Amino acid sequence: MRAKERAQLAVERLKAVYPAISELDHANPFQMLVATILSAQTTDRSVNAVTPRLFASYPDAAALAHADPLAVEAIIKPTGFFHTKARTIIAASAALVERFHGEVPPRLDDLVTLPGVGRKTANVVLGVAFGVPGFAVDTHVIRLTRRLGLTTSSDPVKIEAGVTRMIPPADWTGFSLRLILHGRRVCLARVPKCPQCVMNDFCPSSTVRAARGRRPLTATGTRVRLSHARGSTAKRSGRSRARR
């Protein structure tokens, strides 16, 4: 099977298991941008624990741009690297006010000019907040695309370029988000849970193989529960639904 065929099959298999969402709580593009910056080197749960207070105190770019860095640091401290992150989100907010009338621009070329915003963050914001196709490459996406044999590179820019040539733009955002979710739950860095993987019949790195002629399923009763800005989404395998 060629890499392009594996990519297209991976898109379909993951689409049946995961919703195309970010687990970062947000109500608008500004909140999504700030939350994504804060998510570096920490968990989404840690970010979601601090952003309600942060956005209650600084509801928009103008407010955050004029914030006291020490006050911001005190709020976001649980996310780690809080000195740098506080300076970054304040500087990014100031740039939004100065150059974009306080609004988050819906263009990648504009987003990457903001302090602390690289292609990964920009693509997440574009896809989640604006519905603009973007393929975000984080450590999970790097690991999974290599294991799936979609790339041999560890360079996020090269991975983004290669994978987006294999699948339609309409699938870019969803595939990236689902790879991240799958990497967190099943395709773990140290010990991947290959028996539970819906791609174990064609993934070249799989330690198991599904029975010939059968589409692999997640473990019976597997439930994908995701917390995000619009509540929780749960998906069960077809077998578990049939029991209800």
What residue type is 216 in one-letter code?
Answer: P
- Let me know: does 177 contact 216? Beta carbons within 8 Å: no
Place of tokens 């968990």: 43
> In this structure, what DSSP letter does residue 93 have?
H
Choose, from 25, 120, 171, 201, the residue flagged as catalytic.
120
**Would residue 155 show up in a list of annotated catalytic residues for this protein?**
no
> In this structure, what DSSP letter does residue 138 have?
-
Choose, from 25, 44, 138, 201, the residue flagged as catalytic.
138
Three-class secondary structure of residue 235 per DSSP: strand
Structure tokens at 192: 């991947």
**Would residue 25 show up in a list of annotated catalytic residues for this protein?**
no
List C-alpha distances in Å: 7 to 41, 81, 131, 224. 27, 35, 21, 22
- Let me know: does 15 contact 178? Beta carbons within 8 Å: yes
Q: Which residues are catalytic?
A: 120, 138
